[in-house]
């Protein structure tokens, strides 16, 4: 068994055990369990980093599909750990660690799917596009986690339900709102940069800026909602429940775009390249050809 096959198995075990121990530790308010969870997740991140370094030796134009999902799951876990180390809010890991584990497992299920890229695509514009988009989605996952906890805590407070168990350890509503605002303040510009460089890459590769591809449409919807949230937060001082709900919707749309659209729709972002080649032929991989996606 090669390292590229062994490391994912080790990572899954670290993250799965980390998920079990962090959930058990937070719900039971057992500090030694949360400490064990931290080290399990930390070791998982170290192993995950080693896997990404190993995969980095693969030529960029012949990446397999799971690499991108591996990067996203690593970003989510890494951001969660940073928040834990610097802010000591282990409750934020409750939604984020299981989410990263699910994304990693999903990538493993499709580890043999090939994703050759058009010759012109693996350039600086495409690299910036991918990096900015995944960083923004990672930050959006942080806003998602903070928003889930915000709504849970707010419901208990409004109904005057005594805070018992792990709810006592959930950060105050103002802190959760600030975390949400921080994720938007950094995440939206990154999302915008990712969209912009994606448009540039499409223009250089396929000769069109926007062809109503499903991925483009859903990304535009997500960007509009993100822009509205950014505008309302930092122009009109939006706080509390509404931005929390909108942050959850934006993250869900991003996940829908990444998983459903990229895997199960006919789009030139589709990760099932073999299917797209059967349907559209070798022009799918050609450089600056007239797009076969004229129906979009």
The contacts found for 92-95 with CB under 8 angstroms, 24 or more apart, are 92/142, 92/145, 92/146, 92/149, 92/171, 92/179, 93/22, 93/26, 93/37, 93/41, 93/145, 94/22, 94/23, 94/26, 94/145, 94/149, 95/144, 95/145, 95/148, 95/149
Lowest mean pLDDT among 15-19, 68-72, 289-293: 289-293
Model pLDDT, residue 15: 92
Lowest mean pLDDT among 28-37, 59-68, 218-227, 287-296: 287-296
Percent of the chain with pLDDT over 90: 18
SS3 at position 269: coil
The model's pLDDT over 126-155, given as tens digits with 9 standing for 90+, comes to 778 878 888 898 888 889 988 998 998 888
When comparing pLDDT for 78 and 57, which is higher? 78
Distance between first and last Cα of the chain: 44
Query: Is the residue at 262 inside a domain?
Result: yes
In the predicted structure, residue 224 carries a pLDDT above the cut 60: yes
Model pLDDT, residue 193: 93
Total count of domains within the chain: 1
* Residue 182 burial (CB count, 10 A): 15
- The upper half-sphere exposure of residue 22, i.e. CA atoms within 13 Å in the direction of its Cβ, equals 26
Is residue 179 a contact partner of residue 233, using CB atoms and an 8 Å limit? no
Model pLDDT, residue 236: 85
Query: Is the residue at 252 inside a domain?
Result: yes
Model pLDDT, residue 113: 58
Is residue 81 a contact partner of residue 47, using CB atoms and an 8 Å limit? no
Model pLDDT, residue 290: 40
114 pLDDT tier (thresholds 50, 70, 90): low
Query: Is the residue at 129 inside a domain?
Result: yes
The model's pLDDT over 16-70, given as tens digits with 9 standing for 90+, comes to 998 899 888 877 778 888 889 889 999 999 999 988 888 776 554 445 556 777 8
The model's pLDDT over 147-203, given as tens digits with 9 standing for 90+, comes to 998 998 888 888 777 666 666 777 788 888 988 999 999 999 999 998 888 888 777
| 132 vs 179: CA distance, rounded Å | 20
Q: Which two tokens stand for residue 25?
A: 């530790």
Angle at 98 between CA 195 and CA 86, to 5 degrees: 75
Provide the mean pLDDT of the chain.
77
Model pLDDT, residue 260: 77
Query: Is the residue at 186 inside a domain?
Result: yes
Is residue 144 a contact partner of residue 207, using CB atoms and an 8 Å limit? no
Over residues 277-283, the mean pLDDT reads 45
Percent of the chain with pLDDT over 70: 75
Model pLDDT, residue 283: 45
This prediction's pTM: 0.74
* Residue 166 burial (CB count, 10 A): 16
Model pLDDT, residue 46: 93
Model pLDDT, residue 296: 31
Nearest partner of 200 among 261, 274, 132, judged by Cα: 132
Nearest partner of 78 among 126, 131, 141, 23, judged by Cα: 141
Query: Is the residue at 290 inside a domain?
Result: no
Model pLDDT, residue 65: 57
Residue range of the domain that includes 36: 3-285
Is residue 122 a contact partner of residue 57, using CB atoms and an 8 Å limit? no
In the predicted structure, residue 234 carries a pLDDT above the cut 50: yes
């Amino acid at each position: 068994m090669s390292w590229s096959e062994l490391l994912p198995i080790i990572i899954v075990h670290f993250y799965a055990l980390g998920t079990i121990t962090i959930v058990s530790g937070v719900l039971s308010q057992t500090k030694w369990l949360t400490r064990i969870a931290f080290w399990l997740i930390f070791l998982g991140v170290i192993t995950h980093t080693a896997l990404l370094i190993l995969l980095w030796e693969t030529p960029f134009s012949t990446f397999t599909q799971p690499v991108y999902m591996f990067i996203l799951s690593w970003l989510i876990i890494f951001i969660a750990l940073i928040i834990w180390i610097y802010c000591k809010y282990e409750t934020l890991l409750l939604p984020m660690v299981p989410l990263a584990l699910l994304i990693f497992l999903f990538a493993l299920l499709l580890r043999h799917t090939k994703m050759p890229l058009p010759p012109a695509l693996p350039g600086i514009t495409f690299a910036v596009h991918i990096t900015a988009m995944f960083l923004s989605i990672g930050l959006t996952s942080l806003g998602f986690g903070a928003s889930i906890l915000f709504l849970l805590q707010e419901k208990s407070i409004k109904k005057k339900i005594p805070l018992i168990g792990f709810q006592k350890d959930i950060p105050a509503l103002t802190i959760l709102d600030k975390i949400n605002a921080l994720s938007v303040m950094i995440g939206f510009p990154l999302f915008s940069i990712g969209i912009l460089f994606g448009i540039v890459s499409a223009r250089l590769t396929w000769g069109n800026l926007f062809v109503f591809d499903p991925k483009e449409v859903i990304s535009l919807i997500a960007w509009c909602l993100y822009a509205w949230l950014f505008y309302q937060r930092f122009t009109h001082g939006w706080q509390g429940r509404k931005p929390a709900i909108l942050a959850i919707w934006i993250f869900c749309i991003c996940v829908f775009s990444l998983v459903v659209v990229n895997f199960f729709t006919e789009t030139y972002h589709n990760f099932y390249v073999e299917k797209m080649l059967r349907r559209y032929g070798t022009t799918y991989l050609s450089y600056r050809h007239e797009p076969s996606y004229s129906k979009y």
